[in-house]
């Protein structure tokens, strides 16, 4: 099956090292940026800090809940963190690059998924891209809040408002 990549990037007003540390902290940091819904039932199975950590969670999309279990690797420690899921070819990468003299970080979330071809595959790609980008924007917003030490750094729920002036600027926003 062909692979399809969905990604979203934003500039976070915090040093890259702080942002990466939040993403690599699978015990306390990373769970705080996961919006509920669609994420729920996040569990740390083993490890907790970066490479070798095993996680599990559930994600609900379009009324269907799917369970994921994955392992974390760090192909470029301090810059790239990868979650590879055991029961699929799906991989999610988190890339953090310093910008602005390391007062900011450019963060990119990218997921590679197997998708079918043909007309159904085209529809699948369209909907999954829209869904994941929306989720990634929420995650990036929450990451910005956690990295800045904001009092609003709890996990986002469906009742949380998307305050446009408080969201990090995403690549999608720049092209509107």
Q: pLDDT tens digits, residue range 77-124?
A: 999 999 999 988 899 999 999 998 889 999 999 999 888 888 888 888
Inter-residue contact 123 to 140 (CB < 8 Å): no
* Nearest alpha carbon to residue 41 among 61, 21, 68: 68
Quote the pLDDT of residue 100.
84
CA–CA separation, 7 and 90 (whole Å): 13
Does residue 41 sit in helix, strand or coil?
strand
Q: Supply the pLDDT for residue 121.
A: 81
Give the model confidence (pLDDT) of 35-66 as tens digits.
998 998 899 999 999 999 999 999 998 788 99
Structural domains of the chain, with CATH: 3-174 (3.30.530.20)
For residue 1, name the pLDDT band (cuts at 50, 70, 90): confident
13: nearest Cα among 138, 103, 142: 103
Classify residue 138 by burial, with Cβ atoms within 10 Å: 0-12, 13-18, 19+: buried
Q: Name the DSSP class of 88.
A: S
Percentage of residues in the chain having pLDDT higher than 90: 64
Contact 54, 70 (CB under 8 A): yes
pTM here?
0.82
* Strand order across the 91-99 sheet: 3-12, 104-114, 91-99, 80-85, 64-76, 54-61, 39-46
């Amino acid at each position: 099956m062909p692979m399809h990549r969905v990604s979203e990037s934003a500039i976070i007003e915090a040093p890259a090292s702080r942002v990466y540390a939040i993403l690599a902290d699978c015990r306390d940091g990373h769970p705080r940026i996961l919006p509920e819904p669609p994420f729920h039932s996040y569990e740390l199975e083993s490890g907790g800090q970066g490479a070798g950590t095993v996680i599990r969670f559930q994600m609900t999309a379009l009324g269907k809940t799917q369970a994921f279990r994955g392992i974390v690797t760090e192909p470029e420690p301090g810059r790239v963190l990868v979650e590879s899921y055991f029961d699929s070819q799906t991989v999610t990468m988190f890339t953090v690059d310093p910008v602005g003299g390391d007062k900011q970080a450019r963060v990119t979330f990218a997921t590679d998924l197997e998708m079918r071809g043909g007309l159904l595959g085209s529809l699948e790609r369209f909907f999954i891209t829209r869904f994941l980008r929306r989720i990634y924007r929420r995650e990036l917003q929450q990451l910005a809040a956690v990295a800045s030490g904001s009092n609003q750094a709890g996990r986002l729920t469906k009742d949380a408002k998307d305050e446009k002036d408080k969201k990090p600027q995403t690549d999608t926003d720049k092209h509107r």
